[in-house]
A and B are shown apart, each in its own frame.
Chain A
Amino acid sequence: METDALNTLVSGAIWRAEQLETHGVRPASQAWAEVCSLEEELAKALPVAEAEGRIARRGAVRAALKAGDYARAHALADGYLAEEAPRSLKTALRKILEEDAQAMAGRFRFASKHHSWREAQDLARRFREAGAFGLAA
């Protein structure tokens, strides 16, 4: 698909997702998942050296977080961070994830007093990779 067509679709999808979110409609997360898919397609089509390519990469990660698809957000961010990308993009991606982590720490205020969010994320990832009890490692 042409990038112009993708851009048009992304704009429409973002508008729709924002409207659903504004009105508190629950399928907003599905709409953000659609935004994420379109941004991913754009990111594939546009090199990271181009400003639009970098915008698409940031947009894909942000949309995945808004969709509540943290696995996807982190996988996308890991992929983009592994590219030969400008430092500004890497900083921006890390900031997006960090802001999300801070919001989560606020949500889990009791656990945050005793455990760091980053440590919980690391451990969650290890258990995700190694399965229950770490038996699939």
Chain B
Amino acid sequence: METVAFYSYKGGVGRSLLLANAARFLATLGKGVVALDFDFEAPGLHYKLGGGQSYVDGRRSSNFPLPAGGAVPYLIATAEGADPPPPFDEHMMSVPVPTEAGGWLKLMPAGPAPHQSYWVALKDLSDRLRLTDPSGRGFMALLDLQARIADELRPDYLLIDARTGVTELGGLATTVLADTVVCLFVANQESLDGTLTVVEALKGAPRLANQKPIRVVPVLSRTTAKPPEDERFAAGVKRLLELGEGKRGRIRNDLALFGLPHDGQLGAWERLLGGRIAGPFSPLYQAYLELFQRVFHLGAGPA
């Protein structure tokens, strides 16, 4: 199982949407995928992968139900020493994907957000489980969830929405749980500076003994024009490419950042997957394919 965390220093860069579409894309290719929503303060993967259902209006279809639990209630149960461990069925949902290739996709949402019960549970979790508690208890709770997913579900990929900014959970999801971190940013100095700071930290972060160094893939998102060409911005991009992986540029051996063009009409990219709307000629579709092939070590995109 390879764990890929999706991170952005600033919000609104299309991070969760990229994750949701990567998850569906991989499942369509026949891979087993678990998507985990660790964006506890603003969870939304269940909106993107949950067929438009929400916990607020109670529209829960019988063949595609949102789970009653999620990552927050699961971690609370784990912290309380639940034995046997909490059943995954109560905390995950199966997301329908085309089954011809034999892939599958499961989502563990953060919990029933934005229902009030979720915020109560989140407060409860923060009261009971400090992730960097020196006993290692909070830390082990996260590692335990990841290890259980690997052992029991045996997916090819675990995709984690590691939220924005500098938070304890975001830090652990990227520095400790992830093999690969996809870092999204937009073309302004504020976004680049923050991203660079975090990527530098990621590359120097301590890891567990059996873990390889973190692989970082920086992605310039929502591009509408050429990025700023001033010296400071260019130096930052160059440093990002030294620390992370880019794509081959126009000049041989020259590396360029992966870029995701802004597409106002086709923002809900999961609709692109089957080529029903945009087809393979959409620049965003092409950019996603190029990125996914690099991030997930794929030979070719879907037909």
Known contacts A119-B208, A121-B136, A135-B166: does B202 contact A108 (CB below 8 Å)? no
The answer to whether B134 and A74 have CB atoms under 8 Å apart is yes
Q: Is the interface of A mostly helix, strand, loop or mixed?
A: helix
The answer to whether B202 and A117 have CB atoms under 8 Å apart is no
B191-220 contacts to A (CB < 8 Å): 197-198, 201-202, 204-206, 208-210
The answer to whether B136 and A114 have CB atoms under 8 Å apart is no
- Determine how close the nearest CB of chain A comes to the CB of B73; give it in whole angstroms: 17
- B3 interfacial by beta-carbon distance below 8 Å: no
- A45 interfacial by beta-carbon distance below 8 Å: no
Stretch at the interface among A31-39, A86-94, A123-131: A123-131
The answer to whether B205 and A134 have CB atoms under 8 Å apart is yes
The answer to whether B143 and A115 have CB atoms under 8 Å apart is yes
CA distance A108 to B134 in the complex (A): 16
Number of A-B residue pairs having CB atoms within 8 Å of each other in the complex: 120
Residues of chain B lying within 8 A (CB to CB) of residue A112: 140, 144
Known contacts A132-B168, A133-B198, A134-B205: does B78 contact A124 (CB below 8 Å)? no
Known contacts A113-B147, A123-B206: does B134 contact A128 (CB below 8 Å)? yes
5 pairs, A vs B, C-beta closer than 8 Å? A104-B140, A110-B144, A112-B140, A113-B147, A128-B134
For chain A, give the interface size range: 20 to 34
The answer to whether B170 and A132 have CB atoms under 8 Å apart is yes
The answer to whether A113 and B78 have CB atoms under 8 Å apart is no
- B137 interfacial by beta-carbon distance below 8 Å: yes
- Determine how close the nearest CB of chain A comes to the CB of B2; give it in whole angstroms: 15
- A51 interfacial by beta-carbon distance below 8 Å: no
The answer to whether B172 and A127 have CB atoms under 8 Å apart is yes
- Determine how close the nearest CB of chain B comes to the CB of A85; give it in whole angstroms: 21
